């Protein structure tokens, strides 16, 4: 499949990841997509260019990625929501911290550069114009748009009709004009919030088509290289959630590609396999962090929840037209050759999925984790060989791994080195 034939749109990848983030916490269901929608409407009303609107949309869709790490996630969202509902003018330090971490997590992908800057300061107050900069750095208008959009997004009470609440919300926002929010952006809100459809769109649970039809006119396609870069950024965010798996997806991506090369798979498929490796555990965003990081044995109920993650990987990635093959390779990584894996139990498991399955086990057992060292060659091959005997994984792929074990171990560990840009380091 030549790269020109990739038909994957940046907006679909962004909306799918935004939806995945919204599966993290019951309190924020729909929060990222809601902020993306509101911020885009504000940007439109303010007369921003299509490129600026696009940056605002991406910024809104991803704005709280820095808040998904385990120690702070739940309390941070509770805190942020309370803070916003109360209209507290002084943003606490932890709110600024997740803006900074979100910036670090997203800035390396060139099409996200402007959105990353907007995310960085999305909790800065306008402070009667002093909020145009922070410590000598200019704060982009897009940050102030996100700031107001975030507030509007959390104010509606889900138990009441949203149209009943419009006047109160307009009043609350107006009270904070100048102090928290730029008066220019509040004026844009006053204008768009006269329309019932604006409020009904906010309340609608199926926002992707609304956002796509109103703001998806920038149909930027991804080539193989940018898809790989984007997969890497998303993989890093997925991993960043927990130090237990801090670089796991990068390891699976690199090992999957290296195994594919040794099995004679052509270049394009190898690169797509790498993308599948970055995204294979995206469904884990639906598993509560207390379960992911539980020190002891999981109960059978918790185990059932963990086992659902590859189903969710499939559901999330199926939102992206053109990503079908990557989706199959990613979401069948817990299937077994004897049909006793989960959750689809297909009769045939495609080679790409079997490679990701081996790369996943190899990475999981050889990587160091905070609570244990990774296995050495003998131990790891014992585990893998037993899985082949049990008809769980593909013996030919394990043989390819065995033939070049040292090199694959090196590739895996190199891909998992923290980089100077890693947010985990900055945190």
Comparing CA positions, the residue from 226, 248, 227 lying closest to residue 238 is: 248
Give least dist CB 387 to Fe ion, A: 15
Stretch that binds Fe ion, among 53-61, 242-250, 274-282, 379-387 (CB under 5 A): 274-282
Q: Which lies closer to Fe ion via its Cβ, residue 101 or residue 226?
A: 101
Give least dist CB 219 to Fe ion, A: 27
DSSP assignment letter at 8: E
Q: Which lies closer to Fe ion via its Cβ, residue 270 or residue 334?
A: 334
By CB under 5 A, residue 257 contacts Fe ion? no
Give least dist CB 281 to Fe ion, A: 5
Give least dist CB 200 to Fe ion, A: 21
Q: HEC string of 9-43?
A: EHHHHHHHHHHHHCCCCHHHCCHHHHHHHHHHHHH
Residues 154 and 150: their CA atoms lie apart, in Å, by: 7
Q: Which lies closer to Fe ion via its Cβ, residue 150 or residue 269?
A: 150
By CB under 5 A, residue 335 contacts Fe ion? no
Q: Which lies closer to Fe ion via its Cβ, residue 64 or residue 394?
A: 64
| Number of other CB atoms surrounding residue 122 within 10 Å | 31
Q: How many CA atoms lie within 13 A of 160 on its CB side?
A: 10
- Pairing type for strands 137-138 and 221-222 reads unpaired
Residues 83 and 80: their CA atoms lie apart, in Å, by: 5
Give least dist CB 77 to Fe ion, A: 8
Give least dist CB 278 to Fe ion, A: 13
Stretch that binds Fe ion, among 142-150, 165-173, 343-351, 390-398 (CB under 5 A): 142-150
Radius of gyration of the chain (CA): 22
Query: Site mask, Fe ion, residues 63-102, x = CB under 5 A?
Result: -x--------------------------------------
Residues 223 and 9: their CA atoms lie apart, in Å, by: 9
Give least dist CB 311 to Fe ion, A: 11
By CB under 5 A, residue 150 contacts Fe ion? yes
- The torsion of the CA quartet 74, 237, 294, 244, rounded to 10 degrees, works out to -140
3-state SS assignment for residue 339: coil
Q: How many residues bind Fe ion (CB under 5 A)?
A: 3
Q: Which lies closer to Fe ion via its Cβ, residue 12 or residue 281?
A: 281
Task: By CB under 5 A, name the binding residues for Fe ion.
Answer: 64, 150, 281
């Amino acid at each position: 499949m030549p790269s020109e034939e990739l038909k994957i749109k940046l907006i679909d990848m962004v909306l799918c990841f935004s939806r995945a983030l919204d599966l993290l916490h019951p309190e924020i269901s729909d929060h990222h997509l809601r902020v993306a929608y509101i911020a885009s409407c504000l940007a439109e009303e303010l007369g921003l260019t299509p490129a600026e609107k696009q940056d605002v949309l991406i910024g809104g869709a991803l704005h709280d990625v820095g808040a998904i790490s385990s120690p702070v996630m739940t309390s941070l969202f509770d805190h942020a929501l309370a803070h916003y509902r109360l209209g507290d003018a002084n943003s606490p330090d932890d709110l600024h911290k997740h803006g900074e971490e979100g910036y670090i997590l997203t800035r390396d992908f060139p099409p996200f550069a402007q959105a990353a800057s907007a995310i960085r300061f999305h909790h800065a107050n306008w402070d009667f114009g002093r909020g145009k900069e922070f410590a000598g750095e200019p704060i982009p208008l897009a940050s102030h748009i996100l700031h107001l959009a975030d507030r509007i997004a959390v104010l509606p009470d889900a138990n009441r009709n949203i149209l009943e609440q419009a006047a109160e919300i307009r009043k609350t926002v107006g009270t904070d004009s100048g102090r928290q929010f730029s008066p220019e952006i509040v004026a844009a809100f006053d204008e768009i919030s006269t329309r019932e459809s604006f409020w009904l769109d906010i309340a609608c649970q199926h926002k992707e088509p609304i956002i796509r039809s109103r703001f998806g006119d920038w149909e930027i396609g991804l080539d193989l290289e940018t898809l790989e870069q984007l997969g890497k950024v998303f993989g890093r965010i997925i991993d960043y959630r927990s130090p237990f798996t801090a670089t796991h997806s990068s390891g699976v991506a690199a090992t999957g590609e290296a195994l594919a090369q040794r099995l004679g798979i052509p270049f394009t498929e190898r690169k797509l396999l790498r993308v599948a490796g970055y995204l294979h555990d995206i469904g884990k965003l639906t598993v509560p962090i207390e379960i992911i990081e539980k020190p002891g044995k999981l109960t059978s109920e918790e185990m059932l929840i963990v086992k659902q993650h590859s189903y969710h990987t499939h559901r999330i990635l199926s939102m992206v037209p053109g990503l079908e093959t990557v989706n199959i390779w990613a979401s069948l990584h817990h299937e077994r050759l004897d049909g006793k894996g989960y959750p689809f139990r297909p009769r045939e498991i495609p080679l790409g999925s079997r490679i990701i399955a081996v790369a996943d086990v190899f990475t999981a057992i050889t990587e160091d984790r905070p609570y244990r060292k990774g296995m050495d060659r003998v131990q790891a091959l014992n585990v893998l060989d037993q899985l082949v005997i049990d008809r769980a994984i593909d013996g030919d792929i394990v043989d390819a791994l065995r033939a070049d074990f040292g090199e694959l171990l090196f590739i895996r560990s190199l891909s998992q080195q923290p980089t100077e840009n890693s947010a985990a380091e900055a945190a």
